[in-house]
Homo-oligomer: A and B are copies of this chain.
Amino acid sequence: MGAKKNLLLISNSRAYGRDYLDHCAEAVSAFLAGINQVLFIPYALKDWDDYAEKARKRLNGLGVELVSIHEAADHPILAVSSADAIFVGGGNTFRLLEAVHAHGLTHLIRERVSSGMLYMGSSAGSNLACPTICTTNDMPIRHVSTFEALKLVPFQINPHFVDADPNSRHMGETRETRIKEFHEENVTPVIGLREGSWLRVEGDKVSLRGDGGAKIFLRGQEPFELGSGNEFSADLELLKQPEASQ
């Protein structure tokens, strides 16, 4: 990964009983320190105006301006070219990927992130940062010609990861079974990012933050737990454990 790479990849934009981006507000503030204006990508939801308004209010509350790509004076290509930071909001990952491809933004975002443009994503926006969208939880409501995504990180994220409920009588596949099926067909490691968790990517270093923890799935191995504060390399090799557990 590029040495200048700087990402904040959030599992969920809203925690139970809290308002939009409240549970991670401190992390968002710290991430965007020194940035005056963020370019918002609302494509994952249907109503872009409404979504941009919600995101704008929230970021304004943190002292950051927000312009949505669909209302920018510049063409989307120019808007991304000159942005210091982009925020890709959650919603439906298929719809999001289709729009990003259709607007010709895929390679451009990748290049700009390599050159230091900040990338913040939540839920579908975190899926988009991965090699493919193959570990999304979303319904395939739009066909896309490829599942290949931005490849900003070399691992897959499964946002809103949930453990199987031992009391459930529902017989649909558990999330863990679905990720196991993914590994029957693919080799890329998967981070099951629980709600309340996020990843900070700085160059080749990735840290797990927040309070949900994560479950790590490597093909052909038993999945294992990772707690907040752990630091690992982009290929998921553990670099540093949090001080409390050292």
Please tell me which one of the listed residues B12, B46, B181, B182 contacts residue A171 in the complex, with CB atoms under 8 A apart. Answer: B12
> Which residues of chain A from 45 to 66 have any CB-CB distance to chain B below 8 Å in the complex?
46
Asked if B182 contacts A141 (CB within 8 A), the reply is yes
Which residues on the B side are within 8 Å of A135 (C-beta)? 139
> Which residues of chain A from 178 to 195 have any CB-CB distance to chain B below 8 Å in the complex?
178-179, 181-182, 184-186, 195
Which residues on the B side are within 8 Å of A169 (C-beta)? 16-17
Interface readout for A21-62 with B: 1 if CB under 8 Å, 0 if not? 000000000000000000000000010000000000000000
Which residues on the B side are within 8 Å of A185 (C-beta)? 46, 95, 141-142
Which residues on the B side are within 8 Å of A15 (C-beta)? 171
Chain A at the B interface: SS class: loop
| Total number of A residues with any Cβ neighbor in B under 8 Å | 38
Asked if B139 contacts A160 (CB within 8 A), the reply is no
Cβ of A92 within 8 Å of any chain B Cβ, yes or no, is yes
Shortest beta-carbon distance from A90 to chain B in Å: 9
- Jot down 27 A-B pairs with beta carbons below 8 A, ordered by A: A14-B171, A16-B169, A16-B170, A16-B171, A46-B181, A46-B184, A46-B185, A95-B181, A95-B185, A134-B140, A134-B143, A135-B139, A136-B139, A137-B172, A137-B173, A139-B178, A139-B182, A140-B140, A140-B147, A141-B181, A141-B185, A141-B186, A143-B147, A159-B172, A160-B170, A160-B172, A162-B170
